[in-house]
Chains A and B, each alone.
Chain A
Amino acid sequence: MQKLSDITIGKEYIVKSINDDELAQKLLEMGCTPGEKIIVERKAPFDDPIAIIVSGFMLSIRKQDAEKIIVKKS
C-alpha cells in the first residue's frame, strides 16, 4: 500500500482509503470511491499540486492532501 503522493506518474492504481473525513466526503461525492482506478497524470513544478485521473476526469490536488489517499497496485 502506498500514498497517492508517492506513486509514479502514469501507472494505474486503485483507491484503497482516504484518511481524512472532510477530504473523503469531497472526493467520494466526485466519484473517487474505494476500488476506483486512479492514475497520477502529471505533477506541477515542485511536484505540487498533482493532477490525477480518477473515474474518467482530471483533478488537481495538493501533495499534502494526496498523502492522505491510500492506494494499492491494480
Chain B
Amino acid sequence: MNTTKIKVVLAGNPNSGKSTLFNALTGLRQKVGNYPGITVEKKTGSCSLDDNIKADITDTPGAYSLYPKSIDEKVAQEVIFNKKDKDYPEVTVVVADATNLRRAIFLITQIIDLKMKVVLALNMVDLSLKQGIIIEVRKLSEALNIPVIAINARKQEGIENLKKAIVKANTQEYTHTFFNVKTLFKDIIEQTNLLRNSDNDYGSFLTLCLQDINKDIKLANLSKKYQFIPSRAQAQETIRRYKIIDGVVESCSTEIKVAGNRSFTKWLDDILIHPICGYFIFLGVLFLIFQAIFSWSAYPMDLIDGWFTNLSIWVAATLPTGVFNDLIVKGVLAGLGGIIIFVPQIAFLFAFIAFLEDTGYMARIGFITDKILRGFGLNGRSIIPLLSGAACAIPAIMSARTITSWKERMITIMVTPLMSCSARLPVYTLIIAMIIPAEQSWGPFNLQGLVMMAFYLLGFLAALGTAFILKFILKAQQKGFYIMEMPSYKMPDWRTVIYTIVEKVKVFLFDAGKVIIAISIILWFLSSYAPGNKFEQIEKKWVGKENAEANISSEKLEASYAGMIGKSIEPAIKPLGFDWKIGIALITSFAAREVFVGTMSTIYSVGDNSNIQSIRERLESVQNPDTGKAFFTTAVGISLMLFYAFAMQCMSTLAIVRRETNSWKWPIIQFLYMGGLAYLSSFIAYQILN
C-alpha cells in the first residue's frame, strides 16, 4: 500500500501546550535542529495519521499573531505565511489554551484568512472548566468554520480525533473569510493583489504590513499614495478583528463564577513573589540546585566511575597488548568515561530548569528580578538565559532570542558565558575534591559544596559586572518592552521534563562528545609519539637501571609532541602556577572546557603504564619537582579554577555567538575580554595565595 506524506505545522500562543502536543504526536521520533541561517530551535518529527498517511510535523516558536515582534515570532510567521518556505504546511494545527480562548482565536482567524487549512486543537479544557468557563466546541467550530477538536495534550486524550481531523482537513478546500480586511483598506488591497498576482486579500494586507520600505519600492509607493502606515493599520485591523472575536467568544462560551477561580495562583504568588520571602525562596531554589548537582549526583557518578575503571581493566587484560590496546584503553575509553560521568549532573540541572519553566515559576523569577537586572542593562527575561547558562551557554544564548530589545539581548549574550556552565563543573569538581577534604564542613554545610557555590556566585557577579560596563558601551537600536506572561501555576508535565533531559543529554553526549573523543584520540597520539627516535633513546638510556619504567614514561611524555607544545607555552603560564602539563590541558580545553579532565587523565595515565587509577587519586599523587610536595596546592587549584571560570574556552559557544549576532566582531571581543579577565585574576590569586 502506498503511504503519502503531508506537512503539518503546529502553531499557537506561548504556554498553550504546543510542545506537549508535539511530544504526544511524535514521541521520541523528533529531531532538534536550527532554522537555516538563524538559530531559532527547530523541532521536527513524524507521526502516522492513519494507515496510509504520515505527517511530517514542524513545531514553531510560540506567537500571539502573524505580526512578528521578535526573531522567534518571525520564524512562526515565515513558515505559515511564506509559500516558498520548505516547511509551508498542507495543514496547520493551531493549539489553543481553552482558558485563554479569546487571545488564541486571534492567531487562528489570521491563519483562516490566509485561506489555509486549519484545525483547532482546543487544549486544557479541564482547566477552563475548573475556572468556570464552558466552551461549546460545536458552536465554536461553526462560528469559525473550521474543525475544532478538544484535546488534553498532557493526558494524551483526543489525539486520535485530532489526527482524523488533520486527514480530513487535508482533503478540503478552505475559502472562508473570518474578517474581510477590505472593509478597512479596500483600494490599497486591490492594488496589492494586482501587484502580487493573487486574490488572497489578507495575504496582501500582511505583505503591506511586513513590507521593507527600502526593498520594495512598488509597495512603498502604494503605501504613500493611500497613506498606509503599517503600525497604524495593524492596530486598526487588530481592534476590528477582536470585536468580531468577542462576539464569537460570547456565543460559544459561558463563564460562571467559581469560588477559588485563580485563587490558587494568587495564594502561591503571595508567597513566591513576596517582596522579602520571594527572594529567600529564590535563593533557596538556587541552593537546592547546586546541592543537587554537586552532592546528589555524586552517587550515580561514582557508579559510572566504577564501571569505567572495571571496563578499562577488563579491556586492557583481554585485548592483545600493543598499540591498539593502548589506543582503546587510554584514548577512547578514557575520553568516553570523561564524558559519560557528567551525565547525572546535566540531567539534574536540566530537570530543575524544565521544572521551573513548566510550573510557571520561571516567569515569577523574572518578575522579581527585572528591576534589579535592569540596573545592569539586562531585563527579567535575561534571568532565563543567565540561569540556563549555569547548565550550558549554548542553549542559554539561544534562549536570549525571546528578548525583544537588541541592546539587552546583546548584553545577555555577551555575559552569559561567564556563568559557570556544566562543562566547568568537571573541572571544579576535580580540583575542589583535590584541595578541600570531603569531610570538612561549615556548620551543616559541606565545605566542598560551599566552595562550588562560591564559584557559581563569582561567575554570576562577573556576568553582572560586565553587563553593567556594557550598558554604557552599547547603544540601543530600538525601544524594548518587557512584557511577559505570568501563566497560572500548574503541576509540571513530567513527560516534558523527561524529554528536556533526554534532549539535552543527547546534545551533550553526541555534539560535545564527538569533539571530546576526537581530542582524546589526538591527545593520545600526541602524547604517545615523538619526533625522530627520541623514545628509543630514552629507553636505551634507562636499560637495566633502577625504577626504569616510571622514569621512562615520564621522560617519554616530556619528549612527546604534547610535551613540546605544553613546554612552549609554559613561560606564559608559570606566573599563574601552571606547568606544561596543565598547559597542554589549557590548549585542548579551547575545544570544550570539560576536555580538561579527559586530557589530564590521558596525560597522566600515559605517564604511568602500570595501572589504571581513578584520575583524582592519580593527580593527588603528583609532586612538584621543585618542592617535592604535592603539586596541586590550594594556590594552584584556585588559580586554575579562576582561569576556567573566566576564560572563553568553548569553540561551540563562540560559533553560536557568531551566528546569533551575525558577525565575528562579537565573539572575538568576547574571547579577548574573557581571556584577559581569566589571566589577570589567576595571576593575582596565585601570587597572593602562594
Taking Cβ atoms with an 8 Å cutoff, the residues of A that contact B are 20-31, 33-34, 41-42, 44-46, 48-49, 51, 55-62, 65
Contacts and interface: CB of A to CB of B under 8 A. Distances in A.
Interface string B356-400: 000000010011101100100000100000000000000000000
A73 B368 CA distance: 28
A34 B239 contact: yes
B235 interface: yes
B367 A65 contact: no
A22 B238 contact: no
**Range for the number of chain B residues in contact with chain A:** 35 or more
11 contacts: A26-B481, A42-B269, A49-B367, A58-B485, A58-B487, A58-B488, A59-B486, A60-B366, A60-B370, A60-B486, A62-B370
B653 interface: no
A30 B103 contact: yes
B368 A44 contact: yes
Contacts of B482: 49, 60-62, 65
B64 interface: yes
Of the listed residues B242, B265, B269, B487, the one surrounded by the most CB atoms of chain A closer than 10 A to its CB is B242
A29 B485 contact: no
B256 interface: no
Contacts of A27: 483
B105 to A, nearest CB: 9
Given A31-B103, A51-B486, A59-B486, A25 B235 contact: yes
Contact of A49 (B65, B371, B488): B371
A55 B102 contact: yes
Nearest to A56: B100
A57 B14 CA distance: 12
B444 interface: no
A29 B231 contact: no
Contacts of B106: 29, 31
A59 B238 contact: no
A42 B103 contact: no
Contacts of B67: 25, 29
B483 A29 contact: no
A44 B371 contact: yes
B688 to A, nearest CB: 38
B532 interface: no
Given A30-B64, A49-B367, A49-B371, A25 B234 contact: yes
Given A21-B235, A60-B370, A61-B483, 16 more contacts: A22-B478, A23-B479, A24-B235, A28-B235, A29-B65, A31-B103, A33-B238, A41-B266, A41-B269, A48-B371, A49-B380, A57-B99, A59-B485, A60-B484, A61-B481, A61-B482
B483 A60 contact: yes
A17 B548 CA distance: 87
A29 B535 CA distance: 73
B257 interface: no
Contacts, number: 107
A69 to B, nearest CB: 11
B628 interface: no
7 closest A-B pairs by CB: A29-B65, A58-B486, A28-B238, A31-B103, A45-B275, A21-B231, A33-B242
A22 B486 CA distance: 21
Contact of B483 (A42, A48, A65): A65
Chain B interface, >50% SS class: helix
Contacts of A33: 238-239, 242
Chain A interface, >50% SS class: mixed
Contacts of B328: none
Nearest to A53: B262
A21 B239 contact: no
A31 B245 CA distance: 10
A3 to B, nearest CB: 16
B69 interface: yes
A49 B238 CA distance: 26
A22 B405 CA distance: 12
B301 interface: no
Contact of A56 (B99, B235, B242, B269): B99
Contact of A51 (B102, B239, B367): B367
Given A33-B239, A44-B273, A60-B366, A22 B371 contact: no
Contacts of B65: 29
A57 B273 contact: no
Contacts of A25: 67, 69, 231, 234-235, 238
B232 interface: yes
Contacts of A48: 370-371
B479 A22 contact: yes
A45 B374 CA distance: 13
B69 A26 contact: yes
A60 B235 CA distance: 21
B231 A57 contact: no
A57 B239 contact: no
Contacts of B370: 44, 48-49, 60, 62
Given A45-B275, A56-B100, A26 B483 contact: yes
Contacts of A55: 100, 102-103
Contact of A21 (B64, B232, B269): B232
A30 to B, nearest CB: 5
Nearest to B232: A21
Nearest to A51: B486
B109 to A, nearest CB: 12
Interface string B233-249: 01100110010000000
B154 to A, nearest CB: 19
B364 to A, nearest CB: 9
Contacts of A49: 367, 370-371, 380, 482
Given A25-B67, A29-B65, A49-B371, A59 B242 contact: no
B485 A23 contact: no
Nearest to B266: A41
Contacts of A28: 234-235, 238-239, 242
